[in-house]
Amino acid sequence: MSDQSGFFQRVYEVVKQIPYGYVTSYGSIAEYLGSKGSARMVGWAMNGSHNMPENIPAHRVVNRNGMLTGKRHFGGPDVMKELLESEGILVENDQIIHFKKKFWNPAEKLR
């Protein structure tokens, strides 16, 4: 049975709706879900995204500083960076350039 009662499911739904070439933050997703304290859980959910039957663009989710904190969970030290640059997002020193310009806030876009 699909557990719709899971916090993770809701996170996946939001992450999957992130448009190409844009990024968001863990805290913003958590805040959209109604709990900014659950920002850590968003990262946890991404950890289980590999078990998801669908493709979760977890590389479009970074921390509040636009830093690729979870790059090491992609199986490589620069996999996340390559994915972001592949979408037109410039990354330098594990940090997204013009992050504010590429930021996609679910609380404002999805509402």
Partner DNA sequence: TGATTGACCAACT
Partner DNA sequence: CAGTTGGCCAATC
Question: Which residues contact DNA by CB under 7 A?
Answer: 5-8, 25-27, 35-44, 46-49, 58, 61, 63-65, 69-70, 73-74, 80
37 vs 53, which CB is nearer to DNA? 37
How is the chain split among helix, strand and coil, in percent rounded to 5?
Answer: 50, 10, 40
> How far apart (Å, rounded) are the C-alpha atoms in residues 92 and 23?
15
Question: Is 15:60 a contact under the CB 8 Å cutoff?
Answer: yes
What is the smallest separation between the CB atom of 83 and DNA, expressed in angstroms?
Answer: 11
> Least Å distance between CB 26 and DNA?
4
Nearer Cβ to DNA (105/109): 105
Cβ proximity to DNA, 79 vs 109, nearer residue:
79
CA distance 28 to 67: 14
Residue the block writes with tokens 């979760």: 56
Q: Considering the complex, state which of residue 20 and residue 51 has its C-beta at the smaller distance from DNA.
A: 51
